[in-house]
């Protein structure tokens, strides 16, 4: 039987790690197309200017966000997460895996972002705000020079109530789009895959969001959302697979991180490079953040994506060059993972192509490892993350355990390096569910 025109043997000869991927074993792939920043960025039509524009838009909206989400007021309406040292966890990992992690180990706590408690509070909220701005300006309700806190007035809610927003999600994107859209006054439809947790759906319903459930996967839910929006000219579809706005919203994280590193006195240079480990689902979140980081730190930042062994869609797409044309199902991989934020069978082709020469590599993680890391991080640092978000924490140890990963480290990693695991979600998980996760971490 042929898969995408090739026999199984041919596939295995061309891509030796594919066998382990199909057996859902952990793998580490170092990107053979990784290139110097100068070469990699050529022919990309996404620029620093685009990211700057997104950043400025978020500044315009800050007075509004400070007003409607008071928890953001102390940061002036800028939704940003802490960057913290996780020394205790680093020692714990070194002991457990019998490796040494050279340099500092930090956690970027998007798990604790205000409003929606995950990395989706970046791209998702940004895209909804941009759409609201477009409508308000078009109708003469708003100019770019206004104090945007006026958007909290009733007349804006009435204006936005004539419009709808739709999105497909495994949970967290739905939370972020749903909460922000409902707050502005839009009608909002969240198409949820079977992976979505019950508490996320309930929370959205409480906020007046229309939740549509499917007994199918994320790619299917996205398609349904897309179809619904095509039928209604006043409905806007947030396209997690292709949206540049989402991508730029995520990319703004980079300049904010740079500022946090500066404040900590951490220099990023060839002698003290930055290694960043990002959990990846369809790719928009980690792709946007990594792209933003490459624009700022160029060759001195090395970005890795992390995926569940059950849903290695971006790895499959980038390794084979098939991108959105390939699904994990094509290779008999089942997409059954407790890392619900990463349970995506088919990657974003837009992100895969954009990151083709910029991404250093991708590794995969077993669910049971995620639970173990969850418990270890809770025990050593008192920080509780959802399973998906632990995938990044595994980076500095697991890359070292593969031959190609070790070679990459040997080439680029120095004693002064800084490792950052991107903690993508967790603070909104109800306590009893978190306790259950923690118990699973005790099992082995």
Ligand X SMILES: *Cc1c(COP(=O)(O)O)cnc(C)c1O
Binding site residues, ligand X, CB under 6 A: 118-120, 172-173, 279-286, 341-342, 386, 388-389, 424-425
- CA-based nearest residue to 124, from 171, 63, 161: 171
Comparing CB distances to ligand X, the nearer of 117 and 185 is: 117
Smallest gap from residue 389 Cβ to ligand X (A):
5
Smallest gap from residue 109 Cβ to ligand X (A):
12
Question: Tokens representing 349?
Answer: 């082709």
In the sheet where 235-238 sits, what is the strand order? 210-213, 187-192, 164-169, 235-238
Question: Looking up tokens 């802490």, which residue turns up?
Answer: 82
Smallest gap from residue 281 Cβ to ligand X (A):
3
The packing angle between helices 244-251 and 120-138, to 10°, is 120
Smallest gap from residue 283 Cβ to ligand X (A):
5
Q: Hey, CA dihedral for 15, 21, 25, 27, is it positive or negative?
A: positive
Give the separation between CA 178 and CA 326, rounded to whole angstroms.
29
Pair 370, 444: CB distance under 8 Å = no
Comparing CB distances to ligand X, the nearer of 151 and 306 is: 306
Comparing CB distances to ligand X, the nearer of 168 and 281 is: 281
In b/e form, how buried is each residue of 368-377, taking b as 16+ CB within 10 angstroms? ebbbbbbbbb
Give the separation between CA 156 and CA 61, rounded to whole angstroms.
14
Give the separation between CA 69 and CA 33, rounded to whole angstroms.
43
Question: Tokens representing 110?
Answer: 């998007």
Please, where are the H alpha helices in 161-276?
Answer: 172-184, 198-206, 218-230, 244-251, 253-263
Comparing CB distances to ligand X, the nearer of 109 and 389 is: 389
Smallest gap from residue 279 Cβ to ligand X (A):
4
Comparing CB distances to ligand X, the nearer of 86 and 313 is: 313
Smallest gap from residue 280 Cβ to ligand X (A):
5
- Give the pairing type, strands 83-85 and 104-109: antiparallel
Smallest gap from residue 118 Cβ to ligand X (A):
5
Smallest gap from residue 12 Cβ to ligand X (A):
27
Comparing CB distances to ligand X, the nearer of 77 and 249 is: 249
Comparing CB distances to ligand X, the nearer of 28 and 278 is: 278
Pair 370, 338: CB distance under 8 Å = yes
Instruction: Count CB-CB contacts under 10 A for residue 420.
Output: 27
* Cα–Cα distances in angstroms (integers) from residue 109 to residues 112, 373, 386, 392, in the given order: 6, 15, 12, 11
- CA-based nearest residue to 310, from 283, 285, 340: 340
Smallest gap from residue 291 Cβ to ligand X (A):
12
Comparing CB distances to ligand X, the nearer of 178 and 279 is: 279
Q: What are phi and psi of 137, to 5 degrees?
A: -70, -40
Comparing CB distances to ligand X, the nearer of 127 and 386 is: 386
Smallest gap from residue 119 Cβ to ligand X (A):
6
Comparing CB distances to ligand X, the nearer of 172 and 320 is: 172
Give the separation between CA 275 and CA 421, rounded to whole angstroms.
8
Smallest gap from residue 282 Cβ to ligand X (A):
4
Give the separation between CA 384 and CA 373, rounded to whole angstroms.
10
Comparing CB distances to ligand X, the nearer of 62 and 326 is: 326
């Amino acid at each position: 039987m042929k898969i995408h025109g090739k026999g199984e043997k041919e596939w295995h000869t061309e891509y030796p790690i594919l066998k382990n991927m199909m057996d859902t074993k952990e793998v580490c792939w170092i990107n053979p197309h990784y290139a110097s920043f100068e070469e990699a960025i050529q022919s990309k039509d996404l620029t620093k200017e685009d990211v700057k524009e997104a950043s400025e838009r978020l500044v315009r909206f800050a007075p509004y966000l400070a007003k409607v989400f008071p928890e953001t007021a102390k940061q002036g309406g800028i939704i940003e997460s802490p960057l913290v040292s996780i020394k205790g966890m680093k020692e714990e990992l070194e002991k457990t895996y019998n490796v040494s992690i050279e340099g500092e180990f930090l956690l970027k706590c998007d798990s604790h972002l205000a409003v929606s408690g995950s990395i989706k509070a970046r791209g998702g909220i940004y895209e909804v705000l941009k759409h609201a701005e477009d409508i308000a300006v078009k109708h003469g309700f708003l100019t770019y020079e206004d104090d945007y806190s006026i958007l909290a007035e009733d007349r804006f809610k009435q204006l936005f109530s004539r419009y709808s927003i739709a999105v497909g999600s495994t949970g967290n994107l739905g939370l972020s789009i749903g909460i922000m859209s409902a707050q502005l006054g839009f009608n909002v439809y969240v198409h949820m895959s079977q992976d979505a947790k019950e508490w996320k759906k309930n929370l959205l319903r409480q906020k007046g969001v229309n939740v549509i459930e499917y007994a199918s996967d994320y790619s299917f839910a996205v398609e349904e959302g897309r179809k619904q929006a095509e039928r209604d000219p006043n409905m806007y579809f947030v396209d997690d697979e292709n949206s540049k706005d989402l991508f730029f919203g995520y990319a703004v994280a980079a300049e904010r991180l740079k500022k946090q590193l500066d404040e900590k006195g951490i220099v990023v240079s060839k002698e003290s490079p930055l290694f960043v480990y990002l959990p990846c689902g369809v790719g928009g979140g980690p792709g946007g953040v990594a792209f933003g980081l490459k624009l700022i730190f160029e060759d001195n930042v090395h970005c890795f994506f992390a995926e569940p062994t059950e849903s290695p869609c971006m790895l499959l797409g980038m390794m084979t060059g098939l991108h959105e044309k390939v699904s994990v199902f094509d290779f008999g991989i089942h997409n059954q993972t407790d890392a619900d934020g990463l349970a995506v069978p088919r990657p974003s082709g837009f992100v895969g192509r954009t990151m083709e020469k910029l991404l250093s590599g991708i590794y995969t993680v077993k669910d049971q490892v995620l639970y173990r890391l969850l418990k270890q991080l809770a025990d050593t640092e008192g920080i509780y993350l959802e399973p998906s978000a632990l995938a990044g924490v595994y980076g500095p140890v697991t890359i070292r355990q593969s031959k190609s990963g070790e070679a990459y480290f040997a080439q680029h990693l120095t004693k002064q390096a800084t490792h950052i695991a991107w903690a993508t979600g967790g603070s909104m998980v109800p306590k009893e569910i978190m306790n259950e996760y923690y118990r699973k971490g005790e099992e082995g």
